[in-house]
A and B are shown apart, each in its own frame.
Chain A
Amino acid sequence: MEKRVTFKGWMLPLLLIAPQVLVSAVFFFYPAGQAIWQSLFIPDPFGLSSQYVGLGNFEFLLTDKFYRASFVTTAVFSILVTLCSMIPALFLAVLADRLIKGSGVYRTMLIWPYAVAPAVAGVLWLFMFNTRVGVISWYLGQLGYDWNHVLNGGEAMGLVVVASAWGRISYNFLFFFAALQAVPRSVIEAAAIDGARFWRRFFTIVLPLLSPTTFFLLVVNVVYAFFETFGVIHTITGGGPQQSTTILVYKVFSDGFVGQDLGSSSAQSVILLIVVGLLTVVQFKVIEKRVHY
């Protein structure tokens, strides 16, 4: 789509666009280019010189068992976060949609966690499950279950998943609720006349009508789990125990800044770049569908 009416001149538009181009060039294109460039080198331990290794860093990564493990961890983590944030959100949205009055009040209450930063959410959940002072871990102890996410990888994963999914429930709720409100009443009433009970109506009519929203949220939540949960993991587990919660983004950070392995960290950035690219393509396809629907 283009404007038919435009203004003349080329100095002014270049001036107008300059700030954005400048900021993008300096803080986006140059660093992104650097990441790609550095991924082809191995710096010596003193950082004085570096040796060109071609795709060596990538070869090393793809055969490295820690990196492969991190891929699996990321996949498990994103699937769990997506499920744990979408299912409760859908349930709550269905409940809110059935109310004629009062859904606004519930909505206001449910929006809160969205505003809480992932890192702060991490601290709140860490507090509840802290091995020494946590309320929930204490009650679990009373029931005879010894909670220790500092030593137990599965429990650590469970905790970062719940803490990451928590704030996301609000987000998913808003989208599901809006979609439910848009389902035509007449369709549902017709099914009701035909004698379909609530759950049958839900699974045969409402859920299929929600599928564009569901697909959209699936993609968006996976992207969230990949890239925006760093704060949760850094505050709760620091990637441990034994790297059991080291997702890809966390590994870029820990290898690059803590381990000072710039070549490997850059190569990991490039791999993530490709992953983001693929996810973005999927996202655009999904959104296109949503628009046509």
Chain B
Amino acid sequence: MAREIHGMVEKRGAGLWLNHVFMILGVLVIFFPIWLAFVASTVTQSEIIRPPMPVWPGDQFLTNYRNALFSGVNVPVATMLFNSLVMAIGIAVGKIVISLLSAFAIVYFRFPGRNVFFWLIFLTLMLPVEVRIVPTFEVVAGFGMLNSYQGLILPLIASATATFLFRQFFLTIPDELAEAARVDGARPMRFFWDIVVPMSRTNVAALFVILFIYGWNQYLWPLLITTDPEMNTIVMGIKQMFPSGDDFAHWPTIMATSILAMIPPVIVVVSMQRLFIRGLVDSEK
């Protein structure tokens, strides 16, 4: 009986195959743009500008990628990759460090102005950088931070999501641990390093995945403040590779760059899938 009911709910036989067929179709449709970009990055320009382009990879893989990485259009793509890496890691690490510290202060101390600070930080949750671009640009220009890593990183770590996450987590750490540390005469920072930080490991890792992708995929901000091609990040640099006039864009180089731009975040997401999903669910709570 149980088996029969089971059979009514879970698909078997022909229905199961149909299910797989639909699923595979869905995956193929969703994958198609990436596949086409990959194919375009392995053929010659002349194969692309005489449509329709081939749907199977050609033999120009090494040529196109070498060309993109070491000469590029305005600047070698290797330089842009490096800039993106610095920016993404800077944002992820910077945000995690300042948030761990401030969440620790808010949860484990009673100090004057605590509530005011808490609400001030809370307010920053509400305003994405897109909304305050002009004045933020002026501030960064005033500090002489245009075309610098600080200019790329600092304005984007001014948001409180991570602080809230850590606060929620710290509140679940048993009071006995802090009590024991106090009885043992441990100083607060010792408790922070020996107990709080090790216990937050998984949260830190999950957050790192989310923030790395957030930083890597930034577009508008680097577009505004990196006027020097040497400081371009890869995601914003692709658009700069298109010619302004009526010329044909050099599609094999552009598509090789697009593939290179998605490899690091895809590796992070796929290899740390479990942490990524956890981070996603946590940061939306």
How many residues does chain A have at the interface if contact means C-beta atoms less than 8 Å apart?
Answer: 99
- A224 CB to nearest B CB, Å: 10
Within 8 A of B (CB), among A244-265: 249, 252-253, 256-257, 262, 265
Measured between beta carbons, the chain B residues less than 8 angstroms from A209 are none
Q: Is B5 an interface residue (CB 8 A)?
A: yes
Known: A98-B10, A127-B36, A220-B284. A112 touches B219 (CB 8 A): no
Measured between beta carbons, the chain B residues less than 8 angstroms from A124 are 33-34, 36-37, 258
Contact with A along B148-168 (1 / 0, CB 8 A): 000000110111100100000
Distance A38 CA – B185 CA, assembled complex (angstroms): 53
Distance A134 CA – B10 CA, assembled complex (angstroms): 42
Q: Is A55 an interface residue (CB 8 A)?
A: no
Measured between beta carbons, the chain B residues less than 8 angstroms from A95 are 19, 22-23, 26
Measured between beta carbons, the chain A residues less than 8 angstroms from B134 are 35, 38, 252, 256-257, 262, 265-266, 269
Measured between beta carbons, the chain A residues less than 8 angstroms from B121 are 20-21, 24
Task: Apart from A24-B124, A32-B127, A273-B131, list 20 A-B contacts with CB within 8 A.
Answer: A6-B178, A7-B108, A10-B109, A10-B111, A14-B111, A24-B120, A27-B139, A30-B139, A32-B132, A91-B26, A106-B27, A109-B31, A115-B213, A115-B262, A119-B235, A138-B51, A138-B52, A193-B5, A234-B223, A276-B131
5 pairs, A vs B, C-beta closer than 8 Å: A6-B109, A14-B105, A95-B26, A115-B269, A120-B261
Partner-B contacts on A (CB < 8 A): 1, 3-7, 9-10, 12-14, 16-17, 19-21, 23-24, 26-32, 34-35, 38, 88, 91-92, 95-96, 98-100, 102, 106-121, 123-125, 127-128, 132-135, 138-139, 166, 169-171, 174-175, 178, 185, 188-189, 192-193, 216, 220, 227-228, 230-231, 234-235, 249, 252-253, 256-257, 262, 265-266, 269, 272-273, 276-277, 280, 287
